[in-house]
């Protein structure tokens, strides 16, 4: 089987919303979904395994190994609001795999009572800003109007790659309403090409998502993480500027041929 959903707990009957946040640019979607799972103490109810995930295992701090996977977490509040979170440590490596995983998860969720999908991703920009803006796209005009009321800027061009975008498009095909929120980020990367977590962008997306879903979430820990990342990026920028300056001064020194 190419994709397997291992059910750990049965979902309660009734309609619910799916929130998707998988690894992507600056890990904004994953960070947002993981943060909500942690703050809301959502229960792990399912695991998604697939041969389309990268072919390696992860060794955890306790020395135990596990396969790459996606996870399904369930939350229900006192008012009966139900949310299923899709997060994890990987996306499929191929387009075919991404399609199959998303289709499998959506079909499974629709059979359980899925009514709408919200995904979170990153929007890379060179624009300088004090606070990251949030952009959005939706499967219906009425949803876009709701986003505008929350100061979300509608996108009128471009693409959204990966499963965080694909899940909204496939949801529309299956008759399920969908919204994708994209938080502005500079997409800082290490020398090895790995994205740094952008907690500040994740917070901007979470502020909008929390308003839409009427969730009360403590942003304190995320603010602390954002401050730590700001310090790290500032140090990296300082080192990079110093190296460039030294290289520039070195190039200006006269050279002699004897």
Is CATH 3.40.50.10900 the right assignment for the domain spanning 3-218? Answer: yes
**Which pLDDT score, from 0 to 100, does residue 197 have?**
82
**Which pLDDT score, from 0 to 100, does residue 68 have?**
95
- pTM (predicted TM-score): 0.87
pLDDT, mean of residues 100-129: 95
Summarised one tens digit per residue, pLDDT across range 185-194 is 987 766 666 6
| Contact by Cβ (8 Å): 163, 92 | yes
Percent of the chain with pLDDT over 90: 67
Nearest-Å Rg of the Cα atoms of the chain is 21
pLDDT, mean of residues 92-103: 97
**Which pLDDT score, from 0 to 100, does residue 184 have?**
93
Q: Domain extents for the chain? A: 3-218
Structure tokens at 187: 């997409």
**Range in 58-62, 110-114, 135-139 with the lowest mean pLDDT:** 58-62
Q: Which residues pair with 137 in a beta bridge?
A: 180
Which helix (H) or strand (E) is 99 found in, with range?
helix 95-112
| Contact by Cβ (8 Å): 3, 50 | yes
Task: Work out the angle at residue 66's Cα, subtended by the Cα atoms of residues 60 and 71, and round it to the nearest 5 degrees.
Answer: 100
């Amino acid at each position: 089987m190419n994709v397997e959903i291992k059910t750990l707990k049965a979902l309660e009957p009734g309609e619910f919303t799916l929130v998707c946040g998988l690894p992507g640019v600056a890990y904004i979607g994953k960070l947002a979904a993981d943060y909500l799972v942690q703050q809301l103490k959502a229960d792990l109810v399912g695991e998604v395994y697939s041969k389309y995930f990268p072919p390696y295992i992860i060794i955890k701090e306790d020395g135990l190994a596990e396969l790459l996977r996606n996870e399904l977490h369930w939350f229900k509040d006192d008012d009966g609001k139900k949310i299923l979170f899709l997060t994890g440590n990987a996306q499929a490596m191929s387009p075919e795999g991404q399609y199959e995983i998303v289709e499998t998860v959506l079909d499974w969720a629709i059979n359980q009572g899925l009514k709408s999908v919200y995904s979170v991703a990153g929007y890379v920009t060179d624009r300088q800003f004090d606070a990251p803006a949030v952009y959005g796209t939706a499967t219906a005009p009425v949803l876009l109007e709701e986003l505008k009321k929350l100061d979300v800027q509608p996108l009128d061009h471009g693409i959204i790659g990966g499963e965080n975008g694909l899940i909204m498009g496939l949801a529309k095909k299956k008759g399920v309403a969908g919204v994708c929120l994209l938080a502005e980020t500079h997409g800082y990367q290490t020398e090895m090409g790995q994205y740094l977590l952008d907690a500040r962008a994740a917070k901007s997306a979470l502020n909008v998502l929390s308003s839409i879903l009427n969730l009360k979430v403590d942003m304190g820990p995320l603010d602390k993480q954002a401050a730590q990342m700001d310090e790290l990026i500032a140090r990296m920028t300082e080192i990079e500027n110093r190296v460039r300056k030294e290289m520039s001064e070195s190039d200006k020194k006269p050279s002699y041929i004897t």
